[in-house]
Structures are given as C-alpha cells and as structure tokens.
Amino acid sequence: MSATDLPTFTDEERAGQEERLRKVWTTPSGWRYWTSVNNTEIGLWYGAAAFIFMLFAGLLGLMVRVQLAVPDNSFISADLFNQAFTLHGTIMMFLFAVPIFEAIAVYLLPSMLGTRELPFPRLSAFGFWSFAIGGVFVCGSIFFNAAPNTGWFMYPPLATDKEYSGIGADIWLLGLSFIEVASIAAAVELIVGIMKCRAPGMRINMMPLFAWYLLIVAGMILFAFPPLIAGDILFEMERMFDWPFFDAARGGDPLLWQHLFWIFGHPEVYIIFLPAIAIMAMVVPTFSQRPIVGYSWIVLAAVGTGFLSFGLWVHHMFATGLPQMSLAFFSAASEAVAIPTGVQIFVFIATMLAGRVIFSVPMLFGAGGLAIFVIGGLTGVMVALVPFDWQAHDTYFIVAHLHYVLIGGMLFPVVAGIYYYYPLLDGKKLSDRFGKVAFWLMFVGFNVAFFPMHFSGLRGMPRRVFTYPAGIGWDWFNMISTIGAFVFAFGVGVVVIDVVRPKRKQPRCEQNPWNAGTLEFISEPEEKWGVRSVPIITSRYPAWDQPDLIANMKAGRYYLPDSPMGERETLVTTVLDARPVQCLRVGGTSIVTMVAAAALGGVFIALTFHWWWITIACAIVTLGAILTWLWTGTAIIPETQDYDVGLGLKLPVYASGPDSVGWWAMFITMVGDGTAYASLIFGYFFYWTIHEDFTGGHAGPGAFWPMAALVLFVLAWLLMLAARSLNKANRIRATQGVLVLSTVLTVAGCGAGLAGPYLYSMDPTLFVYPAIVWVVAIWTVVHGAVAVIMQLYCLARSLSGRMTARYDMDLVNVVLYWHFMVITAVTSFAVIGLFPLLR
C-alpha cells in the first residue's frame, strides 16, 4: 500500500484518538499500579525480579568461593555450604536464566512485531506473580536454614531422604513446580503471540530473528519442562506418601529421576543460551549497519540446535554405567550440536565482515561473551567425548565449562542487551564509561575466577565439596578463583550502579538511539499503547527499508489508530503470511490474576508444610479466581460482527476454532500437558524394562474397571462432539442436555478409573508397580475432573446466553481439550488394564 492510500487525520482528530487510546491503555496509579497487565510493566517487573534473584544467587556464589579460598576453611558450615551451592544453581537456572528471557520477550515482542500487546496480557501477569511468589519462597528458605541442600539436580535417594533434606527438597519441588507453571504460561503466550499477533505483512520469513529464537525457545520449554513436572510429581509422591518410585529396595530406580531430570536439564541449557544469541542477532546487525548475512542459515541453525538439544541428555549420565553403545550414540549427538552453534557464531562474524562495525558497549559485551563462550564450547566438545568425560565428569573442570558456556553465552549477551535496550525504559542511555569499566572488570574477573578451575578439576577436585585438604595441589587454584570471583562481582556491581543511578539531569536520547532496523525502538516510555497504529510491514528491517513508516505509524495512518469502544485492541494475523483476520480485544488491568497467582502459591506453599486444609482452601480460591477471570474476561460477545480497524478493513472481533488465539493457547497447553503425561507413561515402561516381572507379584487393577473407564471416556468424548454440532445447529436445549449427559459419563469414568486399583487393594507404598498404576490413574482422573469443570462451565455459559451458535469459542476449546482427554484416557486405561496381560 503506497503512502498516498493512507488516510490523513487532522490534528484535532489525532488528538482525540490519542486521548482515547491513552485512556484505554493507561496504567493505574497508587497501589493499583501493581494490578497492571501491560506488557511493558510486566516485562520490567519480571526482568527486575529475575535480576535481583541473580544478585542474590551471586552472593551465595561468593560465599561458596570464600569458603573454598583456602583448604580446611571453616567460614561456613558444611550444611550451609550445601544449601548455598544448591540454591546458587537453582536460582541461576530457574529464577534468572529462563525468566529473564521471558521478561525481555514480554517487554520487547509487541513493539518488535509491530503490534500492541501479546494476546494474553493477564496470563503474563499471572505468570509474573507466580514467579515472584515462588521465587521469594525458594530464596527465603535459606534464612530459615531450610533451603534445599541436595544439589540443583536433586538426585534421589539423597533427596528423598527426609532426615537429610528436611523440607528443603519439598521447597525445591513445589516452589519450582509453581515457577515451571509460570514458564509454561509464558511459553504459551510467546508462541501464540509470535505466530498470531504480528503486524500485517510481516510474513514468517520476515520476522525479526529475536522472534524466531523466542518461538523456538518457547517450543522447547513446552517439551522440556513437562518431563520435569512429571518427575516432580513422582518425587513428591515418594516424599509425601512414601510411594517408592526411586527406592531400589521396592522396585524403584534412582536412574529414572536422572533421565527425567536431564531430558529437561539439557534442553534447559539451550533454552537459556538461544535467547541470548537472539539478543546478539539484534545487536550485531544494528552495529554492523546492515541486515544479517545468512538469515535462513541462522534460523535453520537455531531450529537444529533446538531439536538436537533433546537428544543429548545422557551425556550427563556417562558415568552411571549405561551400555557403551548408547554412550557412543549420545556422544555423537552431543558433538553434533556444536555444528549449528558454530553456524550461528559465523553468521555474526560474516555480518560484521560485510558491514561497517561501530564498536560500542553492547558490542563489547557481545564480543567478550563470544570469546568466553567459544572456550566453553570447546571444552564442551571435549567433555562430550566419553573417555574424557569419565575423567572430567563431576569435577571442577565441568564447573569451569558450564560457567564459560552460561556466562559467556548468556550473562554477557544479557548485559549487552541491557545496554542496548535501556533507552526503552526511560529514554536515557546508560553510561559508556561505566559500561567499559564493568566490561573489563567482568571479563578479567571471570577468566581469573573460572580458568583455574579447569586445572583444579584436572587435578582431581570434585564438585560440591565444602572443603579440601591442604597440599594436594588445589590450594593456589582455589585462591586465585576466589579473587577472580570478587573482581567479577565488582564488575556486575558497576552494571547495577549504572542502571539504578539517577539520570534526571541526563539529556534524553533519540528515540532510535542506535539506528536499529527493527521496530522495537518505536515504543515510547510514556505511551503505554505500544504502537500508535499497527503498521503494514514489507521488509525484515522496516525502520531502514520503509521510509516514512515510523512517521506514518505515529500519525495513526495505519490500522487501529483509535479505540472507539474503549477496549484494548490488537490485530490477529495468519501464521505464515500475516494477513489480518481478527481484531482481538485483550484483557486490561485486573487484580484477578494477582489473586489467582497468590492463591495458587498458597496451594504449593501449604503443601510443602502438609497443611492440608489450607491447601484445599487455597485451591478453591484459585479455581474461583480462574473461573471469574475466564467468565468476565474471555469469549465476550461483541457489539458488532464486523469492526472497522481502519484502512477500509472490517474484521470480526470474535473468532473461534483455529482462527482464534484461545484455541491455539489450549492446543499448545495441551501439547505440554501431553508431554508430561508421556513422561509418566515412559516411567511405567521404564520399570517394565528394568524388572523381570515388573508387577513384583503384586495384583494389577484387573481388566474390567479400566476397560469400563475407557469406554465411558470415549462415550463422553463422542457426546462432546455431538454437543458442538448441536450448538452449531442452534439447538441450544439439546446441546445443554448432551452436555449434562457427557458430564455424568465423565464422572462415572473417573469413578471406574479409580475403582480398578482401589478394588484390587493395590497398595502404592509396597512396590513401585502399584504406585505407578495409581499415578497414571490419578493423572487421568484429575484430567477428567478438569473436564467436568469445563463441561459445567460451558453449560453455565449456554444457560446464561453467553455462548450461542455463532459465539461458541468456549465449547470449541473444551472439545479441543477433550481430544487430548480421550487420548489420555484410552492410553492410560489400556496400559494399566491390558498391559499386565502381555508381560
């Protein structure tokens, strides 16, 4: 569309539009500020919280270093040391490295994609509050001497030993499960946002690389976190109710936890690393003053890294005694991942070579990080080779390797990102001088701290030792490491000072201070609407290639320049070619998300202390808050079918099925849910493979009740399909009747599902077989219970006239849930009912 076709508004019209937009998107003041759901606030809080957790974990790291500075030191006790290193790793991984990217993504993506908001702002807020509550809970535990003390990997049977780990392990399991919920919520938000909410014309091959990376990472979260959640469930059942999943004496196996943990844990490394590369993929083209060289190369490499990262987990288990054949396979896969990583590095170098580089602070941190990361990558190639890993595994060589990878591959790029994107916060640049001082302190301090660890590791120093004897060749290396750690910490301190120092007197910088080619700098700190109007994009670097684009956007000459109905609106576009298909009204400021997060936090915290009644009370409040949130904020029947979004385009405000973002969110959530379920089934068959007779002579649930449950769930699903068709045919009464019938069958199916293990008196504390059968049955029945709530919700929506033949999003999404439900039920009941017969 050429500029002449764009509408022109008078100053008066524009002022009116801006006033209405401002009113709709305003952030409340006073304490209500904290009820905001706007992406810029949530992103800022999220990032600040993650950064504060990082500083806290850094202090714990310094404590560890002080204790190890000299041999036979008694600076802190063995027990406190064990809590400190466990919490250091746990916080850095779960409360900093992953959330900081969710934060940056929530903050940047809308303006980068040329849109107003992500599709579910309240979900972002819910995720943030869950994260904050869970994070404070986990961090705070160390002040009560109750922090987890078994290492961030929580290997049973040490971590299942209640006498040793106290409630620390429960805090880890429940506190982090809560945070994992937040991560998955963010993943859903980011995937749907990137796929469905780009500016019109921004085809998928024109997306900024940051969006590509975040899409891949969010997809990885969706497949990596659920196995850990499944593992957490098994673990907590063992700790709370003595179900012997990891107890070898009763048929369990500690190695199952290691598999589930590292199926999560290795992709986790790339979940952390890829978004940092994403920042560099934005920084490098800007400072090379040219588009990236090899856009498709880097996208393919990122996708390849994402895939491969799921095939490497066994390299954390090379010393567990697995067969050498499988070790060789995982060794090869681990080496292979170096190739796409190399491609990404060379894409940056190529871009710099083909451009004219301006070397400023973000580039300094980027290049310094790369120099560090490459060392980590090379030692990674070394430890991926089995014979070398047998020697290096669980020594300080690995400590050095992982810090080179994570600090070079993640922390330095994040600091680069802070210097690069800070102007978005308040229109001021951070100081060049502070930045350079911070860089050199961090760079030198880091290498002084961590390079000697390669040597102490090669000299046989194992990880996680709270002390060591003098005179066995580790003394000096440790002393040097400790000195380096403090220099490094000073460097981080300088960054903190630069960020928090008052900048009132400092002049404002230009709006696009580095002359970036992408759109994120369009967002102004004072205006909460993200983009003034939603543009039409025709280039990968619109700010360079589309002259007048920004001026026209600001003049409101594109889509959605106004908000006549007083709603927060943004465009939904198609996945591949970004054609506008819907005007989406997103949720605004609300306290309901905070209440839901606080109540869900209450559930997890009360569970830790076995306060059952409080758990139940909090669960009821959570459910109530979520239902209120859905009832008042989603699937609202709009005032009009066709809504004028500007430029002569009329779009529906209400969509259901695959056109709607809600459908995608349900689909994506259920993919994650299905992955957790698959991990449980993996556990079932894992026990089958390690035992001659995996029932251990214990009775199964019989075939009758599981089969009855299977049939009931299938019937209930068929009725849900019927309900959807009847509703579409506008036969409202029949729909309601069928919904009731389906609900009854679901309840009956749940009862039958539990009847098998119950009537055959399967005691889950005796042996692992009854325990895993119970877990599979309970998982399915809990999903059945959720299905019942959804069915009743649809019924209530229909009865209250909020769901009609045309506006049927609720029912369509619930039927989508049911597709997954029926797969789960059929698999579960076939496995627990029929599989024992085949053994």
Partner 1 sequence: MHHLFIVMVIGGAIIWALTIGVLAYAGRTRPKPMSVRGASRLIVWGGVAFPVIVLFLLLSYAVWLMPQVRPWLPGAMDGTAEIEVTGEQFWWRILYLDQAGKPAFETANELHLPVGRRTTFRLKAADVIHSFWIPALGGKMDMIPGRDNTLSLEPTKAGIYRGPCAEFCGTSHALMAFSVVVMEEADYLAWRAARTQAPVAPQKTSGQELFFRHGCAACHAIAGTPAIGRIGPDLTAVGERQTLAAGTLSNTPDSMIRFIRDPASIKPGVKMPAFGMLPDGDIEAISAWLGGLK
**295-324 positions binding partner 1, by CB under 8 A:** 297, 301, 319-321, 324
Among 24, 66, 382, 630, binds partner 1 (CB under 8 A): 382
Nearer to partner 1, 13 or 394 (CB): 394
Q: Which stretch binds partner 1 (CB under 8 A): 170-178, 362-370, 481-489, 742-750?
A: 362-370
343 interacts with partner 1 by CB under 8 A: yes
**Residues 757-776, interacting with partner 1 (CB under 8 A):** none
The minimum distance between CB 58 and partner 1, in angstroms, equals: 21
For partner 1, the binding residues in 451-510 under the rule CB under 8 A are: 459-460, 462-469, 472
CB of 714 to partner 1, least distance (A): 39
Containing 134, the helix (H) or strand (E) segment is helix 121-140
| Nearer to partner 1 (CB atom), residue 300 or residue 805 | 300
Under DSSP, the state recorded for 313 is G
In the set 4, 31, 143, 356, which binds partner 1 (CB under 8 A)? 356
Tell whether residue 584 is a contact of partner 1 (CB under 8 A).
no
User: Which one, 46 or 348, has the nearer CB to partner 1?
Assistant: 348
- Please report whether residue 620 would count as binding partner 1 according to CB under 8 A: no
Q: Does 84 bind partner 1 (CB under 8 A)?
A: no
Contact between 357 and partner 1 per CB under 8 A: yes
440 interacts with partner 1 by CB under 8 A: no
Q: Which of 59, 78, 591, 785 binds partner 1 (CB under 8 A)?
A: 78
Handedness of CA 654, 657, 658, 661 (dihedral sign): positive
Q: Which residues pair with 566 in a beta bridge?
A: none
Nearer to partner 1, 371 or 796 (CB): 371
733 scored as a contact of partner 1 (CB under 8 A):
no
Per CB under 8 A, which of residues 56..75 are in contact with partner 1? none
For partner 1, the closer CB: 335 or 644: 335
- Nearest CB to partner 1, comparing residues 189 and 389: 389
Indicate the residue among 691 and 728 with the shorter CB distance to partner 1: 691
Nearer to partner 1, 67 or 736 (CB): 67
Contacts of 267-270 with C-beta under 8 Å, sequence gap 24+, read: 267/220, 267/223, 267/224, 267/306, 267/309, 267/310, 267/313, 268/93, 268/98, 268/224, 269/309, 269/405, 269/406, 270/217, 270/220, 270/305, 270/306, 270/309
Give least dist CB 309 to partner 1, A.
16
785 binds partner 1 (CB under 8 A): no
Distance in angstroms (rounded) separating the CA atoms of residues 521 and 523:
5
Rule CB under 8 A: is residue 826 a binding residue for partner 1? no
- Rounded Cα distance between 291 and 429, Å, is 24
| 323 vs 507, beta carbon nearer partner 1 | 323
CA distance 18 to 12: 10
Please state, in angstroms and rounded to a whole number, the distance separating the CA atoms of residues 480 and 455.
Answer: 12
- CA angle in degrees (0–180, nearest 5) for 282-309-831: 135
Cis ω for the linkage preceding 561 (within 30 of 0): no
**Residue choice 111, 351, 791, 813 for contact with partner 1 (CB under 8 A):** 351
| Separation CA 106–CA 275 (nearest Å) | 13
Minimum Å gap between C-beta 363 and partner 1 is 7
Tokens encoding 234: 């098994």
| Residue 115 touching partner 1 (CB under 8 A) | no
In b/e form, how buried is each residue of 594-629, taking b as 16+ CB within 10 angstroms? bbbbbbbbbbbbbbbeeeeeebeebbebbeebbbeb
Q: Measured from the CB atom, is 596 or 768 closer to partner 1?
A: 768
Closest listed residue to residue 212, CA positions, set 303, 311, 345, 332: 303
From the CB of 549, what's the least distance to partner 1, in Å? 24
Angle among Cα 641, 645, 646 to the nearest 5 degrees reads 135
Query: Under the criterion CB under 8 A, does residue 436 sit at the interface with partner 1?
Result: no
Q: Which of 388, 434, 451, 611 binds partner 1 (CB under 8 A)?
A: 388
Pull the structure tokens for residue 788. Answer: 């019942």
CA angle centred on 609, ends 93 and 786, rounded to 5°:
75
Q: How many residues bind partner 1 (CB under 8 A)?
A: 81
Quick check: 346 binds partner 1 (CB under 8 A)? yes
Contact 105, 208 (CB under 8 A): no
Identify which of residues 39 and 165 has a Cβ nearer to partner 1 in the complex: 165
Is 722 a binder of partner 1 (CB under 8 A)? no
Applying CB under 8 A, does 327 fall inside the site for partner 1? yes
**Residues whose CB falls within 8 Å of the CB of residue 343, separated by 6 or more in sequence, listed in order:** 294, 297, 298, 300, 301
* Residue among 280 and 831 whose Cβ is closer to partner 1: 280
Stretch that binds partner 1, among 4-12, 326-334, 541-549, 577-585 (CB under 8 A): 326-334
**Strand-pair partners of 582:** 572
285 binds partner 1 (CB under 8 A): no
SS (H, E, C) 203-243: CHHHCCHHHHHHHHHHHHHHHHHHHHHHHHHHHHHHHHHCC
At residue 154, φ and ψ (nearest 5 deg) are: 55, 45
Question: Is 158 a binder of partner 1 (CB under 8 A)?
Answer: yes
Q: Could you tell me which stretch among 52-60, 340-348, 550-558, 728-736 binds partner 1 (CB under 8 A)?
A: 340-348
Are 739 and 791 spatial neighbours (Cβ–Cβ below 8 Å)?
yes
Residue 361 CB contacts under 8 Å (≥ 6 apart), including other chains: 416, 419, 430, 432, 435, 436, 439
Distances (CA, A) of 507 to 309, 415, 501, 503, 523: 45, 22, 14, 8, 18
* Minimum gap (Å) between residue 681 Cβ and partner 1: 22
Is the CB of 252 or the CB of 413 nearer to partner 1? 252
